[in-house]
Structure 1
Amino acid sequence: MGGYVRIAVRGVGRNRLIAGSAGVTVTVLGLLHTHATDLTPPEGLRLPPAAALFPAGLALLIYAAPRGGRVRTGAVALCVLAAVALASASTLVVVATAALLVAAAAIRPGDPGRPGDARPEYAETLWQSMDEAVMVLDVNYRVIDVNRRWRELTGYDSAAEAPPPPLPGAGGDWLLSRADGTEVPVLATVAAIPDEAGAPRGYVATYVDIAERKRAEDALSDHAAELERGNAQLAAALAFKNDLTSMLTHDVAQPISSIASLAELLCADWADLPEDIRLELATKIDKNTRRLIKMMNDLQLLFRLDTGTVTARRVPVPLLEVVRAACAETAGAGQVEVTIDEDLSALADRGHLTIVVENLLRNAIAHGAAPVQVRAGRDGPETVRLEVRDSGPGIPDDLLPDLFGRFIRGAGLGLFIARHLVEANGGSMRYEHADPRGARLLVILETAPRG
């Protein structure tokens, strides 16, 4: 950086050097013209009178001397002595004048008495005290120098170790490599240093440390993401409340209303009702009560699934035993055809798997048509496949995207709970259209290891 500052002041020093040389020449000619009686100028050349030569030469000398300091004072003294020399025509004065002239010419431009000589040192001090990390490069993009802040920011000791800066025009947010292998985020800019013709003769790369700004931005982003997650949870809770309200309004209200009506009829007309009608009404009350209890149990399980408190205790479970137990607890399961080998087992929670099969059977009986078939077999070396198939019209395509949703209209919570319980046991569940007609619900579980 100091080298580029010195280049800028060379022109001024060159002009003063030329003016000083011309001033010495003209002043010496004036002295000779005054005291040398045998001085004959070349033919065709007329020397101006000494009175004209001295002011011109001394004016050039004064211009060449820097403003202020000992050099300017010496130049003024030289003017006075030269005037005395003209007036007295004394050889001693002429010699003294010449000696002063030589002394003035011998004063170095770098004399500390000149205020302008502090410019390179001032530029160097400014360059090293900058808060920005700065790197100077030549026209071939080789590093010339770096300042103190650059060394502090990167941990490198010399410019030779400097990592390459971004190309001109490719600045902005940048990761600057450090000596310890880490990176610091900086705002980088690269500017060209033009020559007199405007062509680049070097480059200056500047880095501003923005680590604090990045940390603030990351903290703000984390806070915004946390708020977004909170909003998503709030939206999910609101959707759950709306779905639950809808279910309680339709699915739960219907059996409660039926139980209330049947119980009121029995109480009011008990003595007048035949025995068989009493039994029929009591049976309907029992059926709706069981249905209501099933809904309450499903809701309780649903709350546990939503809070993530459902855990599976997986053990080898014989599939044929589980399916037979589920059929015994499901109304209308007398029409179910079961085809499962007795030695086929799955690694699952027995209670969970029983709930899954019961829900799949109820769904097939309620929304499909007989016959309903339950089959199981190996799906690979490490998995088994359980299939529940009905012979009904199948599930419409427009319902498939939400088939395993929490509250699909008319299906209650069965398929939603079944899917989540299967996933809690490390399995998967999907739907397929049966051929030629009907619906197939497939459950894939891990095969139990053989003892």
Structure 2
Amino acid sequence: MRDAARDLGRLSRLTAGCAGVAVAVFGTTALLLSLKGAPPDGFLADPAAALVPAGLALLLQATPVVSRNAGRVVHGLAALLTIAAVAICVATFARHTAASVATLLALAVLLLLGHLIRTLMSADRRQRELAGFTDTLAQSMNEAVVARDTNIADRKRAEEALSEHAAELERGNTRLRETNTRLENALTFKNDLTSMLTHDVAQPISSIASLAELLHQDWDDLPDDVRHELATKIDKNTQRLIKMMNDLQLLFRLDMGSVTARRVPVPLHEVAETVVAGSAAGPGEMLIEIDAETSVLADRGHVAAVLQNLINNALAYGVAPTRVTARRHGEQVDLVVQDSGPGIPDELLPNLFGRFMRGAGLGLFIVRHLVEANGGEVRYERADPHGARLIATFESGPV
């Protein structure tokens, strides 16, 4: 177990270090290319310069330290480099707005990766400390066995000591198993998150960077309509990336159990109209069939987030029209989002409300946790004759 934890820590540091070097080299190369063929305006003239201190900061975060003071110095330097990177982006914002925004988003992803690496390194250190504690307990048991055989008079005391040490060892083993479970969960989470960052987050960042570079290099030669089209694409990818970051932030809060619900009467028809108005649905694609007096006892923000994710899921994977309905049965209310598509494949159903399903994969996972935080439950049913029905059940509110 100790070797596995050590290997995981080395792999985490190696991954972060390689990523830091790659980002720094990419920033330096991009900066040199952007200044090629024209009189240089200085190191702060291009937002690509921010990637150099950002990459060095990530490399420092992955650097192993032998003492607490050394760790404070290293992390302090990493923080200063990160601040410098942000300052460069801010300094170039007026001249290169789109590129500066894209670079700031890339810095946010690097900060998230650095935080995850530090978390895994801390878990590795706690694992090794617990393993050393277990070795100490085992040695104490051996000493207790030797003392028991010394003479008959001390046998009772030795047996009592042995029993106590055995109980302590069992408690240590229990803590070790719990730590191992947490470590395995953290490793699974890291792998899932790395996969998502590689595919779903990297795509809009790459698109933003390419479009921003095109605007930057060919601005004078592009007609106004092409500039507007490129800026619109950058905005769409930026909004997509912002939503992913917000979902990730909420995911971390859900994993830490820090999400609480302030339950009040929530009118479902009013919330549904607000969410549908802000969605990407076209005319006639969304139908709201909720009585104006129907309400639930829940956190209003949570209900809006649940409905928004269910509607986004229906728009992305279903077929119009999509119906939003609510029906009361006893002391509960079922909030239903039903599309007219082919339904959800059977192989996806066992993990439908798990992490990282379908693309970014956070929507239905967030729905489940927010509904459960309000004392409800969420489930899936096949619609008749076809389609998907996602049902969130809440406690009925006062009329």
> Which bracket does the TM-score occupy, shorter chain normalised?
0.5 to 0.7
**What code does the residue aligned with 1:410 have?**
G
Counterpart mapping for 1:44-443 below 5 A: 218-332=167-281, 334=283, 335-378=285-328, 380-410=329-359, 412-443=361-392
Cα separation, 1, equivalents of 2:195 and 2:358: 10
Alignment gaps of 5+ in structure 1: 1-207
**What code does the residue aligned with 2:320 have?**
A
Offset from partner CA, 1:378-399 (integer Å, 9 cap, x none): 0x22110001111112111111
8 A contact 2:261–2:299 mirrored in 1: yes
**What code does the residue aligned with 2:214 have?**
L
Which has more helix, going by share of residues?
2
Cα separation, 1, equivalents of 2:293 and 2:219: 53
Offset from partner CA, 1:283-318 (integer Å, 9 cap, x none): 111111111110111111111111111111111111
Residues 217 and 331 (structure 1), Cα distance of their counterparts in 2 relative to 1, 3 Å cut: same
**Seq. identity, %:** 63
Return the index of the structure with the highest Cα Rg.
1
Cα separation, 1, equivalents of 2:246 and 2:282: 21
Shift of 1:366: 0.7
Shift of 1:219: 4.1
Where 1:317 maps in the other structure, the secondary structure is strand
Cα separation, 1, equivalents of 2:165 and 2:333: 52
Where 1:441 maps in the other structure, the secondary structure is strand
Offset from partner CA, 1:13-59 (integer Å, 9 cap, x none): xxxxxxxxxxxxxxxxxxxxxxxxxxxxxxxxxxxxxxxxxxxxxxx
**What code does the residue aligned with 2:366 have?**
I
Cα separation, 1, equivalents of 2:168 and 2:337: 51
Alignment gaps of 5+ in structure 2: 1-155
**What code does the residue aligned with 1:435 have?**
D
Cα separation, 2, equivalents of 1:415 and 1:430: 10
Offset from partner CA, 1:58-102 (integer Å, 9 cap, x none): xxxxxxxxxxxxxxxxxxxxxxxxxxxxxxxxxxxxxxxxxxxxx
Q: Which residue of 2 aligns with 1:153?
A: none
8 A contact 1:318–1:342 mirrored in 2: yes
Which has more strand, going by share of residues?
1
Where 2:262 maps in the other structure, the secondary structure is coil
Residues 269 and 223 (structure 1), Cα distance of their counterparts in 2 relative to 1, 3 Å cut: same
8 A contact 1:345–1:447 mirrored in 2: yes
Residues 417 and 439 (structure 1), Cα distance of their counterparts in 2 relative to 1, 3 Å cut: same
Aligned length, in residue pairs: 242
Offset from partner CA, 1:203-260 (integer Å, 9 cap, x none): xxxxx9x988766555443332222111111111111111111111111111111111
Where 2:347 maps in the other structure, the secondary structure is helix
Shift of 1:367: 1.0
Shift of 1:369: 1.1
**What code does the residue aligned with 1:304 have?**
R
8 A contact 1:317–1:448 mirrored in 2: yes
8 A contact 1:243–1:407 mirrored in 2: yes
**What code does the residue aligned with 1:417 have?**
I
What's the C-alpha RMSD, in Å, of the aligned pairs?
A: 2.1
Shift of 1:411: 5.0
After TM superposition, the score normalised by the length of structure 2 is 0.57
Residues 239 and 274 (structure 1), Cα distance of their counterparts in 2 relative to 1, 3 Å cut: same
Where 2:292 maps in the other structure, the secondary structure is coil
Where 1:270 maps in the other structure, the secondary structure is helix
Where 1:385 maps in the other structure, the secondary structure is strand
Cα separation, 2, equivalents of 1:239 and 1:277: 43
Q: Which residue of 2 aligns with 1:131?
A: none
Cα separation, 1, equivalents of 2:335 and 2:360: 21
Structure with more relative contact order (C-alpha pairs < 8 Å, separation 6 or more): 2
8 A contact 2:338–2:387 mirrored in 1: yes
